[in-house]
Structure 1
Amino acid sequence: MRINYDFGDLEAFLAVKETGSFHAAAQRLNLSQSAVTRRVQKLEDALGSQLFERTTRSLKPTLAAKRLQARAEAILEDAQETTRAMRDESVEFAHQRGAVISVATIATVVAPLLLPAIRAFRANGHTARIRFLDGSANEVAEAVVAGEADFGLCSIPMLEPLTEFVPLFDDRIVLAVPTEHPLAKRATASLNDLGDTPLILPRRGTGNRLLIDEAIARARTPLSWTYEVGRSTTALELVENGMGVALLPQSATRSANVATCALTAPNIARSVGLLSRLGQKDTPAVAALKTAIRSVV
């Protein structure tokens, strides 16, 4: 059966029934009297029943009107409840989305930078959940460009065209050496001091390796590696077990059981910063976490 009336028709009917006047119903609904009349007539045609007996002096509801009233009120109440529920769910969903911050980050800055920032973020009363997307610098940049992350923390040798990079600090490349190695007692060292000690380098294609290769090329210092690894944690495991010395960002060695000495000749550093999509507007929670990160630096 096709339904040829709508909620507006039922509202007009109830207003007329309750006020006893087309004129008063029109004022209640903020409609013209003729519009209310048309809606009631449309409802009568759809139901095949007369709802009001009209005379020049009075307006009386029919038996059909009395039977319809309770059902019309129930229909409108159900519709209003459905609308309220849908709006509440939409607001809740929007709140949940706003309450989750996705941060793409390189692993080496989590402990020295991101964790202290999160503690400050929490201390200021922020309760947003935080999703970590940890990976290489290239993976961080890809997550930001794809919109998977609200922002990134990384070092990038080349800026993506759709992103904005704001430097936070320079992270020096240092020599990580076993604690019993002769270089462990020195504050500085150059590549020429390595002698026959096996060298551990980041894998080709990574941002750190690109920085190192460029610095070596400028210094015209021949360099031969013994181990090549994809992650700084793997390099540290090798160093801790006396397998060699590694060229690593200083931030990656802070909590490791290894000794470090500053690298001179060449002096290598990577810029670590916030990576965001161009034109993106931060939510208040995202902006607050960024502020906390900058305060830590």
Structure 2
Amino acid sequence: MTLLAPRLAYFAGVARTEHVTRAAQEMGIPQSTLSRALVRLERDLGVDLFARRGRTVSLTPAGRTFLGSVERALGEVERAAESVRADADPATGKVAFGFLHTMGSETVPGLLRAFRADHPRVRFSLVQNYGEAMLERLRAGELDLCLTSPVPDAPDLVARRLDEQRLRLVVPDDHRLATRKRVRLAEAADEAFVTLEPGYGLRRITDDLCQEAGFKPRVAFEGEEAETLRGLVAAGLGVALLPPPAVRRPGVVELTVTGQRAVREIGVAWLGGHPDTPPVAAFKSFLLSRKGRLLQQGLSSQPGPGGVSSLSGD
């Protein structure tokens, strides 16, 4: 492949014109360079691709078979080049952006709406997932940026803290604590907890806060969605530590946790040492400019029609 690839376009050009001199002129290379490249190509393949009559050439049966595959290969390379050029276009390029499930209903639609007011044709490929999964997709080159929690601290990543959410102890509306406005987390030490699965950032924060309060939570259920956990709390399966909901849910009471710093920090992360395309750089700058008001941006904006080119949820 290393030997053949640079010569494929030369071969296709001569096959198209059936004339070495004319092909060399069209490709802007010396005729001698082209002639030598064709001879080496045939020598490396071990077959004659052309029947020669002076400067005029015609394809042999082997050459005609080879040409079909070469044209497909060159076409695929050209399509790939067009795709990456389009994705990097400052006005119409693409941003691959990941975010937490809990930010999908209000915060992210509001952010996209605000950004696209000044960049209306930038396209987004969106991935909704939990933090560790998104960091792996960053490392695999599948994402340009992601909103995640906790803010990662890894040598291969760059991360910036943007905002924080106060976590609340969510209890059923007929719970013994439901008449309270504030509660110490230690008062829930004997309760069953419904939590996110291990590997989720909010699960790690829940475990750490409970440990800080002097107990290990007794887990009754592990899920993947915060709103599912709220529904299970309403059904009486346990209590939960959760960020504020986008829309108030009946059947539960949300209590302020006192006595310790019960928050989750939200940050933006990207892979270090990788240059940004213009649309990615613009969106990164936009996110960083929202430091301290990222969540307010989402809550103050209503999702508009359109605004996203593609969406995949995990």
TM-score calculated relative to the size of structure 1: 0.64
- Shift of the 270–163 alpha-carbon distance from structure 1 to 2, 3 Å rule, reads same
Q: Quick check: 1:114–1:293 contact (8 Å CA) kept in 2? A: no
2:87 matched residue in structure 1: 97
Q: Which moved more, 1:120-129 or 1:270-279?
A: 120-129
- Partner residue, 2:114: 120
Per-residue deviation, residues 207-259 of structure 1 (Å, max 9, x unmatched): 22222222332332454333333432321220233433211133xx2324143
Q: Deviations over 1:31-88 (max 9, x none)?
A: 9xxx99xx9xxxxxx6459xxxxxxxxxxxxxxxxxx9xxxxxxxxxxxxx9xx9998
Partner SS, residue 142 of structure 1: helix
Amino acid of the structure 2 residue aligned with 1:228: E
Change (3 A) 1:10 1:244: closer
Matched residue, 2:246: 254
Number of equivalences = 233
Q: CA RMSD in A?
A: 3.7
Distance 1:163 1:273 in 2: 12
Separation of aligned partners in 2, 1:203 and 1:150: 25
The residue that corresponds to 2:218 in the other structure is: 224
Q: 1:86/1:105 Cα in 2 relative to 1: closer, same or farther (>3 Å)?
A: closer
- Code of the residue aligned with 1:124 in structure 2: it is D
Larger Rg: 1
Considering Cα pairs closer than 8 Å and 6+ residues apart, tell me whether 1 or 2 has the greater RCO: 2
Change (3 A) 1:88 1:206: closer
Partners of 1:164 and 1:150 in 2: CA distance:
12
Letter in 1 for 2:150: I
Within-5 A mapping of 1:174-189: 174-181=168-175, 183-189=177-183
More helix by share: 1
CA 1:10–1:249 in 2, change beyond 3 Å: closer, same or farther?
closer
* Unaligned stretches of 5+ residues in structure 2: 1-13, 36-51, 57-70, 295-314
| Percentage identity across paired residues of the two chains | 24
Cα separation, 2, equivalents of 1:210 and 1:224? 14
Write the distance in 1 (CA, Å) between the matches of 2:175 and 2:280.
44
Rate the CA distance shift 1:265–1:224 in 2: closer, same or farther, 3 A.
farther
Q: Contact 2:115/2:286 (CA < 8 Å) preserved in 1?
A: yes
* Alignment-derived partner of residue 19 in structure 1: none
Partner of 1:7: 21
Question: Cα 1:240–1:215, aligned 2, differ >3 Å: closer, same or farther?
Answer: closer
Contact 1:126 1:285 (C-alpha < 8 Å) held by counterparts: no
Structure 1 245/214 Cα, relative in aligned 2: closer, same or farther at 3 Å? closer
Cα deviations by residue, 1:167-197 (Å, 9 ceiling, x for unpaired): 1112222112334546445332122444865
- Partner of 1:111, secondary structure, is coil
AA matched with 1:7: T
Change (3 A) 1:90 1:247: closer
Structure-2-length-normalised TM-score: 0.61
Structure 1 unmatched runs, 5+: 13-28, 40-45, 50-67, 69-81
Matches within 5 A, 1:1-297: 6-7=20-21, 47=53, 92-98=82-88, 99-156=93-150, 159-181=153-175, 183-194=177-188, 198-221=192-215, 223-250=217-244, 253-257=245-249, 258-294=252-288, 295=290, 297=294
Distance apart, 1:203 and its partner CA: 2.7
